[in-house]
């Protein structure tokens, strides 16, 4: 972690950080307003998250990651870009979903470029699997959306299969969706394109 990232944690966490608790989080209180709420799981260094928050200033983003330098970096960017509609958590996302998010509290869920665990024996470590989506779905409002993206084709197929298996979700496209205007190109995406990978977006709505 750089000195600047550590300084951002020290100075910005009290305002923009959310500590884990084994009780429901009042999202409106956390953001100080009653606006649409989106959960972002795995924000990396936070560059894309901050850009999305700038493009959608009337939406609030709860961004979760466990990577210390990434947490420091997103807080540094929040300060530099004068962002007010992001709150940051450094904790396991599964536990946050289970313990802190109330049913029907989210308008959207973003999972962009999760670790593909590309070795066959590691596939079971992938985040996007039926049991996890079963935990996520109740947190979404009716009409809320799930947006995932990956540059790993085999994981894209798995995401499509998992999301399509839920009767409560409706695909917004025939299979993979056009990249929504709000999602910028991430460093993972740029790297994937350099390696000749495609990029697949999936957008499903809750009925």
Total residues belonging to the chain: 207
Q: Is 40 annotated as a binding residue?
A: yes
Q: Is 167 annotated as a binding residue?
A: no
Q: Is 119 annotated as a binding residue?
A: yes
Find where tokens 């029907």 sit.
Answer: 104
Q: Which of 138, 159, 140, 158 is nearest to 202 (CA)?
A: 159
| Distance between CA atoms of residues 1 and 13, nearest Å | 15
Q: Which residues of 89-113 are buried (b: 16+ CB within 10 A; e: fewer)?
A: bbbebeebbeebbeeebbbbbbbbb
115 catalytic? Reply is yes
Q: Is 92 annotated as a binding residue?
A: yes
CB 188 within 8 A of CB 155: no
| Distance between CA atoms of residues 5 and 163, nearest Å | 36
> In the chain, what are the helix, strand and coil shares in percent, each to the nearest 5?
40, 20, 40
Catalytic residue among 10, 26, 103, 115: 115
Q: Which of 133, 154, 143, 171 is nearest to 41 (CA)?
A: 133
Q: Which of 179, 96, 168 is nearest to 130 (CA)?
A: 168
Q: Is 207 annotated as a binding residue?
A: no
Q: Is 186 annotated as a binding residue?
A: yes
Catalytic residues, by residue number, are 115
Q: Which residues are annotated as a binding site for S-adenosyl-L-methionine?
A: 40, 65, 92, 115
Q: Annotated binding site: which residue ranges?
A: 40, 65, 92, 115, 119, 151, 186-189
| Binding-site positions for substrate | 119, 151, 186-189
């Amino acid at each position: 972690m750089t000195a600047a990232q550590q300084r951002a944690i020290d100075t910005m966490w009290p305002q923009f950080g959310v500590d884990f608790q084994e009780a429901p989080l009042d999202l409106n209180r956390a953001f100080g307003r009653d606006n649409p709420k989106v959960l972002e799981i795995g924000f990396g260094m936070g560059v894309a998250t901050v850009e999305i928050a700038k493009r959608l200033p009337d939406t609030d983003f709860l961004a979760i990651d466990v990577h210390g330098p990434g947490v420091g970096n997103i807080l540094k960017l929040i300060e530099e870009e004068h962002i007010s509609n992001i709150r940051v958590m450094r904790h396991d996302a599964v536990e946050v979903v289970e313990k802190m998010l109330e049913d029907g509290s989210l308008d959207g869920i973003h999972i962009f470029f999760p670790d593909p665990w590309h070795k066959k024996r590691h596939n079971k470590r992938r985040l996007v699997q039926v049991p996890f989506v079963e935990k996520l779905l109740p947190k979404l409002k009716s009409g809320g959306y799930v947006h995932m993206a990956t540059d790993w084709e085999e994981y894209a197929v798995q995401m499509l299969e998992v999301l399509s298996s839920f009767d409560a979700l409706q695909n917004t496209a025939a299979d993979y969706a056009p990249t929504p205007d709000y999602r910028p190109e991430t460093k993972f995406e740029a790297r994937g394109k350099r390696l000749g990978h495609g990029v697949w977006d999936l957008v499903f709505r809750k009925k």
